[in-house]
Amino acid sequence: MTRTVAIVGSGYMGGGIAQVLALSGARVALSDISEEVAQKSYQRLITESRDFVSAGLFPDGATETIEKNIFAAASVEAAVADADFIVEAVPEVLEIKNDILTRISTAAPADAIIGSNTSTISIGEMAKSVTNPERFLGVHFSNPSPFIPGVEIIPHTGTSDAVVATAQEIVHETGKETAVVKDVTGFVLNRLQYALFHEATQLVEEGVATPEDIDTLVRTTFGFRLPFFGPFAIADMAGLDVYNFCYKSLQTDFPERFATPKVLSDLVDAGKLGTKTGAGFLNVPADRTPELIAYRNKAYVAMQQLMKDLGPAPLN
């Protein structure tokens, strides 16, 4: 069955999401403040797609698929009238989003799933503007949406489990991965991203290192691991007892900023020290450690080669 999708807001994020869904085989109605704006965005997406194909970023035939599967709708109401799945991608202003969500709710089928691409605004707050709010949730793609594989799925307290499952299925059909997180301020992605940025700015303000040197360290050390392992996998491999000790060292100068997380100290007190004991945050069996180390080493060498092949980013 071909999915019928509507994208409301055809800017950089909305347009990219439209490309992603169109390439997965969905029929996508692209809408904006006017049909003229939506049509201009459609033409931009075609031009971008040709460039991406030429650069080897999209597969051969992608532009033809996008041309066939996306069309500019006459209005928001026309776009959503027959949609099964709707993504709102208008500016990050609650009043604008509430107005659009009201219009979508009025014009869309009563059972159409409505997702917001917001990165910061409460899903529960926006749900007040949606009729049948159990079909509403956050579906947060990252910029640039055609190329970043992770998507946050954010139900509010009233979102139905079936809607969450269907939204995940639709995203998975595009080849992306999903993580279901709770509707809290900043969700997960931005809380982590801004926590790192905050500490980085502290180091600059304290004169510990320059922005350039901090970026170099992040890229070439723990950031180098992150495409393959998240923070809990990294901690388990390092040893949770080591992490516990390092927290105590950090507390000599920053007792409050680096207070030991209770979830970490509880695991250490229970003798669950990560992969070396077969139990930690992720409970990787100890007998799989050699396999895990072999994968890790292969991944890091491949990443080093990729960086060499690409060369440095054109920041200077």
Per-residue pLDDT tens digits for 264-294 = 999 999 999 999 999 999 998 888 999 999 9
Question: Would you kindly state where each structural domain of the chain is located, as residue ranges?
Answer: 4-180, 221-310
Q: Regarding the domain delimited by 221-310, which CATH topology (the fold level of the hierarchy) does it fall under?
A: N-(1-d-carboxylethyl)-l-norvaline Dehydrogenase; domain 2 (1.10.1040)
CA-nearest of 128, 105, 120, 111 to 152 is 120
Does residue 88 contact residue 116 with C-beta atoms inside 8 Å?
A: yes
- The per-residue b/e assignment along 78-93, b for 16 or more CB within 10 angstroms, e otherwise, is bbbbebbbbbbbbeee
pLDDT at 1 over 80: no
Percent above pLDDT 70 for the chain = 100
Does residue 259 contact residue 314 with C-beta atoms inside 8 Å?
A: no
pLDDT digits (tens, 9 = 90+) for 181-192: 999 999 999 999
What's the Cα-to-Cα distance from 123 to each of 20, 103, 154, 179, rounded to whole Å? 23, 17, 7, 16
Mean pLDDT of 158-179: 98
Does residue 20 contact residue 7 with C-beta atoms inside 8 Å?
A: no
Token digits for 277?
């004991």
DSSP letter at 183 equals -
Does residue 171 contact residue 139 with C-beta atoms inside 8 Å?
A: yes
pLDDT at 286: 86
Instruction: Measure the CA–CA gap between 101 and 115, rounded to whole angstroms.
Output: 10
pLDDT at 141: 98
Give the containing element (helix H, strand E) for 100. Answer: helix 94-107
Mean pLDDT of 152-171: 98
3-state secondary structure 166-226: HHHHHHHHCCCEEEECCCCCCCCHHHHHHHHHHHHHHHHHCCCCCHHHHHHHHHHCHHHHC
Give the containing element (helix H, strand E) for 130. Answer: none
Token digits for 86?
């709707």
pLDDT digits (tens, 9 = 90+) for 225-274: 999 999 999 999 999 999 999 999 999 999 999 999 999 999 999 999 99
Instruction: Measure the CA–CA gap between 299 and 194, rounded to whole angstroms.
Output: 27
Q: Tell me which residue has tokens 């807001």.
A: 9
Catalytically active residues are: 119, 140, 152, 190
pLDDT digits (tens, 9 = 90+) for 118-129: 999 999 999 999
Q: Tell me which residue has tokens 């040893």.
A: 239
pLDDT at 208: 98
- The per-residue b/e assignment along 172-205, b for 16 or more CB within 10 angstroms, e otherwise, is eebebebeebebeeebebeeeeeeeeeebeeeee
Instruction: Measure the CA–CA gap between 245 and 185, rounded to whole angstroms.
Output: 31
User: Does the pTM exceed 0.85?
Assistant: yes
Query: Band of the pLDDT at 316, cuts 50, 70, 90?
Result: confident
Percent above pLDDT 90 for the chain = 98
Instruction: Please tell me the CATH superfamily of domain 4-180, with its number.
Output: NAD(P)-binding Rossmann-like Domain (3.40.50.720)
Count of residues in the chain: 316
Give the pairing of strands 4-8 and 70-72.
unpaired
Mean pLDDT of 79-96: 97
Q: Calculate the average pLDDT of the chain.
A: 97
Mean pLDDT of 288-304: 96
Does residue 136 contact residue 127 with C-beta atoms inside 8 Å?
A: yes
